[in-house]
Amino acid sequence: QVQLVESGGGLVQAGGSLSLSCAASGGLAGINAMGWYRQSTGKERELVALIRNNGMRKYADAVKGRFTISRDNAQNTVYLQMTNLKPEDTDVYYCTGGWYRTDSWFREYDYWGQGTRVTVSS
């Protein structure tokens, strides 16, 4: 019922910036947070950033101070502004919308987009 469509991935030089966007549609009442995970071949999918409907945000330590997550409620869209990109940021980035516990960031369930690839060259 929930559909998530990412865009904005591409190639960027180290130290540069990219912005990702993800538009959500369908069954949005079942989502209280949206965000981004990333995954490389052979690795687990890891949290990048989450933002609750009320604007509370969570970031992975690896991206704190460099990435900013935001949302446009009118557009049902979440963004990830990435700055000071590093080669280790190279990954497929997946948009997520899901339900997280109100007293923690424990995930009850997530919906996933198809992913958009970010490549950071050195």
- Kindly report, residue by residue over 77-116, the tens digit of the pLDDT: 999 999 999 999 999 999 999 999 988 899 999 999 999 9
Q: What is the pLDDT of residue 83?
A: 98
Average pLDDT over residues 24-38: 93
Q: Taking all residues of the chain, what is their mean pLDDT, rounded to a whole number?
A: 95
Neighbours of 16 (CB within 10 A): 13
User: pLDDT at position 55, please?
Assistant: 93
Beta-ladder partners of 35: 50, 96
In this predicted structure, which of 16-25, 55-64, 104-113 has the lowest mean pLDDT?
104-113
Would you say residue 32 has pLDDT above 90? yes
Q: Rounded to whole angstroms, what are the CA distances from 28 to 2, 20, 57?
A: 7, 20, 19
Give the integer Cα–Cα distance in Å for 99 and 93. 19
